[in-house]
Amino acid sequence: MLTRIDHIGIACFDLERTVEFYRATYGFEVFHTEINEEQGVREAMLKINETSDGGASYLQLLEPTREDSAVGKWLAKNGEGVHHIAFGTADVDGDAEAIRGKGVRVLYDEPRVGSMGSRITFLHPKDCHGVLTELVTSAKPSAHGSAGHAADHAAEHSGDPSADHAGDPSA
């Protein structure tokens, strides 16, 4: 069962400038950062609030590190803005399977490791009224510890949640 909005992913050209906008305008602070070389992105997670299920809601700011990354291609086509929405769930596997059973394409056969050690998968935007949708099961707090510890494991985590499909939503 989906329990919350985990995060909203926002593609940007300049991560520092975008972080500063959200800090100065809304008072949001960076909770976590990581770089994913494989996916070609840098990200900053800005924590918005705690949620009743023990999780939190975030803004995920995504900056491509190379033009040929999925987020880089998406930015070239669409400009800065909302890239995807992510819903939190205690069971990404079960919820993805249930949603697949309703005729919605799930983009990964098996969930992958996402930001801060979470488990993630995506739903095809053409099946979700044009919205790239992510399902997220957060890592247990002890699994990722502080933001600094999580950043140490950046190579293991996906900073670009739609890397395989964001550049080509017709896939």
List 32, 60, 157, 165, catalytic entry: 60
List 32, 39, 43, 144, catalytic entry: 43
Largest Cα–Cα separation, the chain: 44
**Opening angle at CA 146, ends 151 and 120, nearest 5:** 60
**Is there a catalytic annotation at residue 84?**
yes
List 32, 83, 84, 144, catalytic entry: 84
**Is there a catalytic annotation at residue 38?**
no
Q: For residue 157, which of 121, 96, 100, 112 has the smallest C-alpha distance? A: 112
Beta bridge partners of 82: 10
List 7, 32, 157, 165, catalytic entry: 7
**Is there a catalytic annotation at residue 32?**
no
Count CB neighbours of 163 within 10 A: 19
Asked if 14 and 63 count as a contact pair (C-beta separation under 8 A), the reply is yes
**Is there a catalytic annotation at residue 124?**
no
CA–CA separation, 44 and 115 (whole Å)? 10
**Is there a catalytic annotation at residue 29?**
no
**Which residues are identified as catalytic?**
7, 43, 60, 84, 134
